Amino acid sequence: MKVLVATEKPFAAVAVDGIRKVIAESGYELQLLEKYSSKADLLGAVADADAVIIRSDVIDAEVLDAAKRLRIVVRAGAGYDNVDLAAATAHGVVVENTPGQNSNAVAELVFGMAVMAVRNMYNGTSGTEMKGKRLGLQAYGQVGRNVARIAKGVGMEVSAYDPYCPDDVMVADGIKPVHSVEELYAGNDFVSIHIPATPETKKSIGFDLITKMPKGGVLINTARKEVIDEEGLDKALEARADLKYVADVKPDSAEELKARFGDRVFFTPKKMGAQTAEANINAGIAAARQVVDYLRDGINKYQVNK
């Protein structure tokens, strides 16, 4: 059986070595398609693959049509909005992600960006501290939980809004459950966004929510740019000169926002949350193990298109 690793942006060499070892031990064949420059290369490589491991690579209906033997796609990472789930289901292909493998990396970046924001982008002026401040987590999933762990160490008061997470899970972690998104924004000095991009969440964060934040509020987005209503964000930053927005998911209007709001906004040049050696290795190897578990034993614990 052939396992294709199709990565326009390749894994670190040490991660590829780990993947190679897992696949070799299972007796399967590994094919690497790295830094491919055209979709035709991907269409050709998937033709005889039984499994595909990807990163941010797009798996759409055309790729699935070309992949006649494909049984499983594993997205090494958390977000899987680059895979057409409906088309995969229609083709009988299992789609999995590798939850939790990069969440500490993303959580640490949240703090890197938050400190930078409250220290005025290190411009030499006096800033504020995070200890004793209120942090609201919009979603209490893998990343949110890691942010909470670090925030407690920093001495912050942490609350979270996640309608799909039972209150007792948060309470057990010492986190205050909040039951509306409006309450989350109104009651926190920092709000950190950790929701997936879904039809329900896309463009759901705009002027009304952002301007609910108290004076000096800092909004941090390491989730997806699509969850922001960019026009609303622009208006909110215009109306409230005390607010800041820092993101690892660059908005489409990044240049305009930067020109208009200067040091009150910050965007990483490209998505960097999961860009650590540890996360890269963890996610790649987890993906290889999940492929083997499924092809050999039918285990589909992390299937996202059930």
Beta bridge partners of 220: 192, 246
**b/e sequence 34-50, b meaning 16+ C-beta within 10 Å:** eebeeeeebeebbeebb
DSSP state of 108: H
> Distance between CA 208 and CA 204 in Å, rounded?
10
The identity of residue 299, as a single letter, is I
Answer yes or no whether residue 59 interacts with ligand NAD by CB under 6 A: no
Binding string, residues 233-272; x marks residues near ligand NAD by CB under 6 A: ---------------x----------------------x-
**Range in contact with ligand NAD (rule: CB under 6 A) among 1-9, 101-109, 117-125, 229-237:** 101-109
Answer yes or no whether residue 192 interacts with ligand NAD by CB under 6 A: no
* Least distance CB 257 / ligand NAD (angstroms): 18
> Distance between CA 182 and CA 178 in Å, rounded?
9
Q: Which of 79, 173, 156, 76 is nearest to 111 (CA)?
A: 156
**Range in contact with ligand NAD (rule: CB under 6 A) among 3-11, 137-145, 259-267, 281-289:** 137-145
Answer yes or no whether residue 139 interacts with ligand NAD by CB under 6 A: yes
Radius of gyration of the chain (CA): 21
* Least distance CB 116 / ligand NAD (angstroms): 16
**b/e sequence 252-279, b meaning 16+ C-beta within 10 Å:** ebbeebbeebeebbbbbeebbbbbbeeb
* Least distance CB 142 / ligand NAD (angstroms): 4
Answer yes or no whether residue 144 interacts with ligand NAD by CB under 6 A: yes
**Range in contact with ligand NAD (rule: CB under 6 A) among 3-11, 56-64, 188-196, 207-215:** 188-196
Answer yes or no whether residue 78 interacts with ligand NAD by CB under 6 A: yes
Answer yes or no whether residue 103 interacts with ligand NAD by CB under 6 A: yes
* HSE of 172, CA atoms in CB hemisphere, 13 A: 7
Residue nearer to ligand NAD on the CB measure, 70 or 74:
74
Cβ contact 151:174 at 8 Å = no
Answer yes or no whether residue 289 interacts with ligand NAD by CB under 6 A: no
Answer yes or no whether residue 287 interacts with ligand NAD by CB under 6 A: no
* Least distance CB 35 / ligand NAD (angstroms): 19
Cβ contact 96:294 at 8 Å = yes
Answer yes or no whether residue 57 interacts with ligand NAD by CB under 6 A: no
The identity of residue 67, as a single letter, is A
Binding-residue total with ligand NAD (CB under 6 A)? 32
Q: Which residues are at the interface with ligand NAD (CB under 6 A)?
A: 77-79, 99, 102-103, 106, 138-144, 161-165, 194-197, 200-201, 222-224, 248, 271, 273-274
